[in-house]
Amino acid sequence: MSREFAFIDALRAIAVSPAARGLADDAAVLELGGQKLVLTMDTLVEAVHFLPGDPPEDVAWKLVAVNASDLAAKGAEPLGCLKSHALGEEDWDRAFLAGLELACRHFRLPLLGGDTVRMPKGSARSFSLTALGRGPEDCPVPSRSGAQAGDLLWVSGTIGDSGLGLELLTSGGRVQTPEAGWLIDRYHRPMPEPALGVALAPLATAMMDVSDGLLVDARRMADASGVSIVITADDVPLSRALVATVGDGLEQRLQAMTAGDDYVLLFTAPAVNSAYVRAAAAAAGSHVRPIGAVAEGADIALEWQGQPTPLPERLGYQH
């Protein structure tokens, strides 16, 4: 068990409020005066969650986007955010603010407050954001634990783009194709869709965002729900840019499914409701695809070209 995991386990013993959802969901859900307040907080650390050379506008975008992704996963309408900022060089901070303003406007998360701090020389900068949203009124706030046998598993976007973008960015070679530029942009500027989350919440039996890798996140959903999830690797949507860059075989698909940083929605819904699911996504201006099925049992399994195929050793980013 990693240090991080052991620590989170110890935190769990403290976070006993039902609103904390056992620290096992994407966000906390606090009931307040008949409203459901959805709360999430994510931190980005230089050299851990972003590269020191990443454009500051993109770091700010990502900070807002990863939190917006958690709200989307809970079907929450964005309300606002608070940010803690570690001061760095003046130009860098100014560019960061420009990206922040853009992202706050895009994700409808007005900046409400926060803190600005100095760091000792030589310290990695870190930025925390707390985002607040209003949970759905007419249905429960979706959790990771509601998937049921008979459901289909869906994703709301292509998988692996951001991971491949990061790989291209760090591989050192000069990247000059338009596809490579697009993939790197997916790494720098994830595009979660809170409005899609709001539209899907009444239909989803379980919902979460894909942040650590499709396979590891699907396993978390299976574990939380006490079911088995079989993923059809053939059906996992890949972008044209990814296929053009690395191809479309099982190996590339496994790579994509374990890469992480996708910030798309992963959710389950009864198979009989598939037409409603597609219609709700279309009404939100988006497109969702079924990639697997939920059955009784435990854990996840993979199929490829109609046959079972072994899971890779590493399912994604493991804390």
Q: Which residues bind a copy of itself (CB under 8 A)?
A: 3-4, 6-8, 10-11, 14-17, 19-21, 23, 27-28, 30, 32-35, 37, 39-43, 45-49, 79-80, 82-87, 90, 93-94, 97, 100-101, 104, 110-120, 122-124, 126, 128, 130, 132, 134, 319
Complex with a copy of itself: residue 96 or 267, whichever CB lies closer? 96
Joined tokens for residue 99: 């990206």
Complex with a copy of itself: residue 151 or 212, whichever CB lies closer? 212
Least CB distance to a copy of itself at residue 39 (A): 6
Place of tokens 């869709």: 193
Complex with a copy of itself: residue 79 or 241, whichever CB lies closer? 79
Least CB distance to a copy of itself at residue 309 (A): 33
Complex with a copy of itself: residue 30 or 195, whichever CB lies closer? 30
Place of tokens 């309408």: 77
Least CB distance to a copy of itself at residue 191 (A): 21
Joined tokens for residue 187: 């790494």
Complex with a copy of itself: residue 35 or 170, whichever CB lies closer? 35
Least CB distance to a copy of itself at residue 45 (A): 5
Three-state SS for 159? coil
Q: What proportions of the chain, in percent to the nearest 5, are helix, strand and coil?
A: 40, 25, 35
Phi, psi of 43 (to 5 degrees): -120, 135
Least CB distance to a copy of itself at residue 51 (A): 12
In order of 11, 18, 214, 218, 219, the CA distances from 22 in angstroms are 9, 7, 22, 18, 17
C-alpha span between 99 and 57 (Å, rounded): 4
Q: Which amino acid is at 74?
A: K
Complex with a copy of itself: residue 101 or 303, whichever CB lies closer? 101
- Residue 6 neighbours by CB under 8 Å, 6+ apart: none
Least CB distance to a copy of itself at residue 249 (A): 33
C-alpha span between 79 and 76 (Å, rounded): 9
Residues β-bridged to residue 67: none
Least CB distance to a copy of itself at residue 218 (A): 22
C-alpha span between 87 and 123 (Å, rounded): 11
Q: Are 277 and 287 in contact (CB under 8 A)?
A: no
Least CB distance to a copy of itself at residue 148 (A): 26
Nearest to 75 by CA among 174, 209, 242: 209
Complex with a copy of itself: residue 24 or 243, whichever CB lies closer? 24
Q: Are 63 and 83 in contact (CB under 8 A)?
A: yes
Complex with a copy of itself: residue 42 or 217, whichever CB lies closer? 42
